[in-house]
Chains A and B, each alone.
Chain A
Amino acid sequence: MEYSNLRRQAAYMKKSLFDQGYLDEQFYQLEELQDDVSPNFVEEVVTLFFRDSARLISNIEQALDKCPQEFSKLNAFVHQLKGSTSSIGASRLKNECTRFRDYCDEENLEGCLKSFQKLKREHAVLRQKLESYFQLLRQVGPVEKATRPSM
Protein backbone atom coordinates (compact mmCIF):
# COMPACT_ATOMS: atom_id res chain seq x y z
CA MET A 1 0.00 0.00 0.00
CA GLU A 2 2.76 2.37 1.09
CA TYR A 3 4.79 1.42 -2.00
CA SER A 4 1.85 2.18 -4.33
CA ASN A 5 1.39 5.55 -2.68
CA LEU A 6 5.06 6.37 -3.15
CA ARG A 7 4.87 5.35 -6.79
CA ARG A 8 1.82 7.52 -7.30
CA GLN A 9 3.56 10.45 -5.58
CA ALA A 10 6.61 10.03 -7.80
CA ALA A 11 4.47 9.87 -10.94
CA TYR A 12 2.50 12.94 -9.85
CA MET A 13 5.68 14.84 -9.05
CA LYS A 14 7.11 14.06 -12.48
CA LYS A 15 3.88 15.03 -14.20
CA SER A 16 3.91 18.37 -12.34
CA LEU A 17 7.45 19.08 -13.47
CA PHE A 18 6.29 18.65 -17.06
CA ASP A 19 2.97 20.46 -16.64
CA GLN A 20 4.67 23.47 -15.04
CA GLY A 21 7.22 23.59 -17.85
CA TYR A 22 10.28 22.76 -15.79
CA LEU A 23 11.05 19.71 -17.92
CA ASP A 24 10.49 18.83 -21.56
CA GLU A 25 10.59 15.79 -23.84
CA GLN A 26 14.39 15.51 -23.56
CA PHE A 27 14.02 14.25 -19.96
CA TYR A 28 12.24 11.18 -21.37
CA GLN A 29 15.26 10.60 -23.63
CA LEU A 30 17.39 10.41 -20.49
CA GLU A 31 14.99 8.01 -18.83
CA GLU A 32 15.04 5.74 -21.86
CA LEU A 33 18.79 5.36 -21.43
CA GLN A 34 18.34 4.10 -17.87
CA ASP A 35 18.45 0.32 -17.54
CA ASP A 36 19.54 -2.48 -15.21
CA VAL A 37 23.20 -1.81 -16.03
CA SER A 38 22.79 1.92 -15.27
CA PRO A 39 19.84 2.04 -12.86
CA ASN A 40 20.64 5.55 -11.59
CA PHE A 41 21.63 7.04 -14.94
CA VAL A 42 19.17 9.92 -14.87
CA GLU A 43 20.11 10.97 -11.35
CA GLU A 44 23.82 10.73 -12.24
CA VAL A 45 23.39 12.93 -15.29
CA VAL A 46 21.26 15.45 -13.40
CA THR A 47 23.75 15.53 -10.52
CA LEU A 48 26.56 16.23 -12.98
CA PHE A 49 24.44 18.91 -14.57
CA PHE A 50 23.89 20.77 -11.30
CA ARG A 51 27.55 20.49 -10.38
CA ASP A 52 28.66 21.94 -13.73
CA SER A 53 25.90 24.52 -13.98
CA ALA A 54 26.65 25.85 -10.47
CA ARG A 55 30.23 26.48 -11.62
CA LEU A 56 29.02 28.22 -14.79
CA ILE A 57 26.61 30.38 -12.82
CA SER A 58 29.49 31.40 -10.56
CA ASN A 59 31.56 32.27 -13.65
CA ILE A 60 28.68 34.35 -15.02
CA GLU A 61 28.34 36.16 -11.70
CA GLN A 62 32.04 37.04 -11.71
CA ALA A 63 31.86 38.18 -15.32
CA LEU A 64 28.87 40.42 -14.54
CA ASP A 65 30.76 41.99 -11.63
CA LYS A 66 33.60 43.06 -13.89
CA CYS A 67 33.72 46.56 -15.29
CA PRO A 68 33.54 47.01 -18.19
CA GLN A 69 31.57 43.83 -18.87
CA GLU A 70 32.88 41.38 -21.43
CA PHE A 71 29.62 40.48 -23.14
CA SER A 72 31.27 37.96 -25.47
CA LYS A 73 32.66 36.10 -22.44
CA LEU A 74 29.25 36.22 -20.76
CA ASN A 75 27.66 34.96 -23.93
CA ALA A 76 30.12 32.06 -24.08
CA PHE A 77 29.31 30.99 -20.49
CA VAL A 78 25.57 31.16 -21.11
CA HIS A 79 26.02 29.27 -24.37
CA GLN A 80 27.65 26.44 -22.41
CA LEU A 81 24.92 26.53 -19.82
CA LYS A 82 22.23 26.44 -22.47
CA GLY A 83 23.78 23.36 -24.05
CA SER A 84 23.67 21.53 -20.74
CA THR A 85 20.12 22.63 -19.89
CA SER A 86 18.90 21.38 -23.27
CA SER A 87 20.53 18.01 -22.71
CA ILE A 88 18.59 17.29 -19.52
CA GLY A 89 15.35 18.84 -20.74
CA ALA A 90 15.41 21.77 -18.30
CA SER A 91 12.98 23.80 -20.38
CA ARG A 92 12.42 26.93 -18.28
CA LEU A 93 16.12 27.25 -17.55
CA LYS A 94 16.94 26.84 -21.23
CA ASN A 95 14.47 29.59 -22.17
CA GLU A 96 16.00 31.94 -19.61
CA CYS A 97 19.45 31.21 -21.07
CA THR A 98 18.09 32.23 -24.49
CA ARG A 99 16.77 35.50 -23.07
CA PHE A 100 20.07 36.16 -21.32
CA ARG A 101 21.98 35.59 -24.57
CA ASP A 102 19.69 38.04 -26.36
CA TYR A 103 20.58 40.68 -23.76
CA CYS A 104 24.27 39.85 -24.18
CA ASP A 105 23.97 40.31 -27.95
CA GLU A 106 22.38 43.72 -27.32
CA GLU A 107 25.06 44.47 -24.68
CA ASN A 108 22.17 45.34 -22.39
CA LEU A 109 23.64 45.11 -18.89
CA GLU A 110 20.39 45.82 -17.08
CA GLY A 111 18.66 43.10 -19.06
CA CYS A 112 21.52 40.70 -18.32
CA LEU A 113 21.35 41.40 -14.61
CA LYS A 114 17.56 40.91 -14.45
CA SER A 115 17.73 37.77 -16.54
CA PHE A 116 20.57 36.39 -14.44
CA GLN A 117 18.56 36.79 -11.24
CA LYS A 118 15.70 34.89 -12.86
CA LEU A 119 18.10 32.25 -14.14
CA LYS A 120 19.51 31.70 -10.64
CA ARG A 121 15.99 31.39 -9.20
CA GLU A 122 14.95 28.88 -11.87
CA HIS A 123 18.14 26.91 -11.27
CA ALA A 124 17.56 26.78 -7.51
CA VAL A 125 13.90 25.81 -7.87
CA LEU A 126 14.63 23.08 -10.41
CA ARG A 127 17.40 21.72 -8.24
CA GLN A 128 15.14 21.53 -5.20
CA LYS A 129 12.30 19.91 -7.16
CA LEU A 130 14.52 17.32 -8.81
CA GLU A 131 16.27 16.50 -5.54
CA SER A 132 12.88 15.83 -3.96
CA TYR A 133 11.84 13.76 -6.96
CA PHE A 134 14.97 11.59 -6.88
CA GLN A 135 14.71 11.21 -3.12
CA LEU A 136 11.22 9.82 -3.63
CA LEU A 137 12.39 7.59 -6.49
CA ARG A 138 15.04 6.08 -4.23
CA GLN A 139 12.29 5.06 -1.84
CA VAL A 140 10.23 3.60 -4.68
CA GLY A 141 13.22 1.59 -5.90
CA PRO A 142 14.32 0.47 -9.37
CA VAL A 143 10.82 -0.55 -10.58
CA GLU A 144 9.97 3.02 -11.67
CA LYS A 145 10.55 3.08 -15.46
CA ALA A 146 10.28 5.81 -18.06
CA THR A 147 6.66 6.42 -18.93
CA ARG A 148 5.28 9.15 -21.07
CA PRO A 149 1.87 10.42 -19.94
CA SER A 150 -0.93 9.11 -22.15
CA MET A 151 -2.31 11.65 -24.61
Chain B
Amino acid sequence: MATSSSSTGVDKLKNKLRALVVDDNRMIRLYMVSLLKKANVEAEVAEDGKAAVNCFLQGKTYDIILMDKDMPQMDGVQATRILREMGVKTKIVGVTSHSTEEEKREFLEAGLDDFFVKPLTSPQLIELLKDVGNK
Protein backbone atom coordinates (compact mmCIF):
# COMPACT_ATOMS: atom_id res chain seq x y z
CA MET B 1 0.00 0.00 0.00
CA ALA B 2 1.43 3.44 -0.86
CA THR B 3 0.78 6.51 1.31
CA SER B 4 1.90 10.14 1.16
CA SER B 5 3.61 12.32 3.67
CA SER B 6 2.22 15.88 4.11
CA SER B 7 3.35 18.82 1.94
CA THR B 8 3.81 22.43 3.06
CA GLY B 9 2.33 24.76 0.39
CA VAL B 10 1.33 24.81 -3.26
CA ASP B 11 4.36 26.79 -4.49
CA LYS B 12 6.78 24.38 -2.83
CA LEU B 13 4.84 21.40 -4.27
CA LYS B 14 5.25 22.72 -7.81
CA ASN B 15 9.02 22.53 -7.55
CA LYS B 16 9.34 19.76 -5.03
CA LEU B 17 10.82 16.49 -6.14
CA ARG B 18 8.78 13.36 -5.47
CA ALA B 19 10.33 10.15 -4.20
CA LEU B 20 9.06 6.64 -3.68
CA VAL B 21 10.65 4.71 -0.81
CA VAL B 22 10.30 0.97 -1.28
CA ASP B 23 11.23 -1.04 1.83
CA ASP B 24 9.47 -3.69 3.91
CA ASN B 25 11.02 -2.35 7.12
CA ARG B 26 8.84 0.40 8.60
CA MET B 27 11.66 1.84 10.67
CA ILE B 28 13.77 2.27 7.57
CA ARG B 29 10.83 3.77 5.70
CA LEU B 30 10.41 6.29 8.53
CA TYR B 31 14.11 7.15 8.43
CA MET B 32 14.22 7.54 4.63
CA VAL B 33 11.04 9.64 4.52
CA SER B 34 12.49 11.97 7.17
CA LEU B 35 15.78 12.18 5.30
CA LEU B 36 13.92 13.08 2.11
CA LYS B 37 11.67 15.56 3.90
CA LYS B 38 14.75 17.34 5.22
CA ALA B 39 15.99 17.62 1.63
CA ASN B 40 12.59 19.13 0.70
CA VAL B 41 11.53 16.03 -1.21
CA GLU B 42 7.95 14.79 -0.99
CA ALA B 43 8.00 11.07 -0.22
CA GLU B 44 5.56 8.21 -0.60
CA VAL B 45 6.20 4.69 0.66
CA ALA B 46 5.58 1.20 -0.64
CA GLU B 47 5.99 -1.89 1.55
CA ASP B 48 7.39 -4.12 -1.18
CA GLY B 49 8.12 -4.38 -4.88
CA LYS B 50 4.56 -5.29 -5.78
CA ALA B 51 3.19 -2.15 -4.07
CA ALA B 52 5.82 -0.09 -5.89
CA VAL B 53 4.79 -1.47 -9.28
CA ASN B 54 1.14 -0.80 -8.38
CA CYS B 55 1.96 2.86 -7.78
CA PHE B 56 3.05 3.14 -11.42
CA LEU B 57 0.09 1.09 -12.66
CA GLN B 58 -2.12 3.68 -10.92
CA GLY B 59 -0.44 6.37 -13.03
CA LYS B 60 1.70 7.89 -10.28
CA THR B 61 5.01 9.44 -11.20
CA TYR B 62 8.15 10.10 -9.21
CA ASP B 63 11.50 11.75 -9.72
CA ILE B 64 13.40 9.07 -7.83
CA ILE B 65 12.78 5.62 -6.38
CA LEU B 66 14.79 4.30 -3.43
CA MET B 67 14.47 0.55 -3.75
CA ASP B 68 15.36 -2.05 -1.13
CA LYS B 69 16.46 -5.43 -2.47
CA ASP B 70 15.16 -8.12 -0.12
CA MET B 71 11.42 -7.81 0.33
CA PRO B 72 8.53 -10.28 0.56
CA GLN B 73 5.97 -10.73 -2.25
CA MET B 74 8.22 -9.10 -4.84
CA ASP B 75 11.87 -8.20 -4.25
CA GLY B 76 13.68 -5.11 -5.48
CA VAL B 77 15.36 -6.91 -8.38
CA GLN B 78 12.08 -8.13 -9.82
CA ALA B 79 10.32 -4.82 -9.17
CA THR B 80 13.10 -2.89 -10.91
CA ARG B 81 13.02 -5.26 -13.88
CA ILE B 82 9.23 -4.93 -14.21
CA LEU B 83 9.31 -1.15 -13.92
CA ARG B 84 11.90 -0.92 -16.70
CA GLU B 85 9.86 -3.30 -18.86
CA MET B 86 6.88 -1.02 -18.28
CA GLY B 87 8.96 1.83 -19.70
CA VAL B 88 9.55 3.64 -16.40
CA LYS B 89 12.51 5.97 -16.88
CA THR B 90 12.58 7.28 -13.29
CA LYS B 91 15.95 7.14 -11.52
CA ILE B 92 15.96 3.96 -9.45
CA VAL B 93 18.53 3.70 -6.67
CA GLY B 94 19.10 0.43 -4.88
CA VAL B 95 19.55 0.90 -1.12
CA THR B 96 20.26 -2.36 0.59
CA SER B 97 22.22 -4.02 3.36
CA HIS B 98 25.56 -5.52 2.40
CA SER B 99 25.24 -7.77 -0.65
CA THR B 100 27.69 -9.99 -2.49
CA GLU B 101 29.18 -8.68 -5.73
CA GLU B 102 27.00 -11.12 -7.64
CA GLU B 103 23.82 -9.90 -5.90
CA LYS B 104 24.83 -6.29 -6.55
CA ARG B 105 25.48 -7.05 -10.23
CA GLU B 106 22.10 -8.78 -10.56
CA PHE B 107 20.38 -5.77 -9.00
CA LEU B 108 22.21 -3.30 -11.25
CA GLU B 109 21.49 -5.40 -14.34
CA ALA B 110 17.79 -5.34 -13.49
CA GLY B 111 17.88 -1.62 -14.29
CA LEU B 112 19.22 0.38 -11.36
CA ASP B 113 20.84 3.74 -11.97
CA ASP B 114 22.84 3.58 -8.76
CA PHE B 115 23.43 1.45 -5.69
CA PHE B 116 24.10 2.27 -2.04
CA VAL B 117 24.64 0.23 1.09
CA LYS B 118 22.31 1.07 3.98
CA PRO B 119 22.02 3.38 5.69
CA LEU B 120 21.70 6.13 3.11
CA THR B 121 23.14 9.33 4.58
CA SER B 122 22.19 12.95 4.03
CA PRO B 123 25.30 13.79 1.91
CA GLN B 124 24.70 10.72 -0.27
CA LEU B 125 21.07 11.71 -0.79
CA ILE B 126 21.98 15.27 -1.71
CA GLU B 127 24.43 13.93 -4.29
CA LEU B 128 21.74 11.61 -5.72
CA LEU B 129 19.22 14.43 -5.99
CA LYS B 130 21.62 16.79 -7.80
CA ASP B 131 21.07 15.40 -11.29
CA VAL B 132 17.46 14.32 -10.62
CA GLY B 133 16.32 17.92 -10.37
CA ASN B 134 18.01 18.75 -13.69
CA LYS B 135 16.07 16.19 -15.78
Q: Give the B-binding residues of A (Cβ under 8 A).
A: 26, 29-30, 32-33, 38, 41, 44-45, 48-49, 52, 76, 79-80, 82-84, 86-88, 98
Contacts and interface: CB of A to CB of B under 8 A. Distances in A.
B34 A33 contact: yes
Given A29-B122, A82-B98, A83-B97, A52 B25 contact: yes
Contacts of B38: 32-33
Contacts, number: 52
B35 A83 contact: no
21 contacts: A26-B119, A26-B121, A32-B122, A33-B31, A33-B35, A38-B34, A44-B30, A45-B27, A45-B30, A48-B26, A52-B25, A52-B27, A76-B70, A80-B70, A80-B97, A82-B98, A83-B25, A83-B97, A86-B97, A87-B27, A88-B27
Interface of B: 25-28, 30-31, 34-35, 38, 70, 96-98, 118-119, 121-122
Given A33-B34, A33-B38, A86-B118, A49 B97 contact: no
A41 B34 CA distance: 9
Contact of A48 (B30, B35, B118, B121): B30
B121 A29 contact: yes
B34 A83 contact: no
Nearest to B121: A29
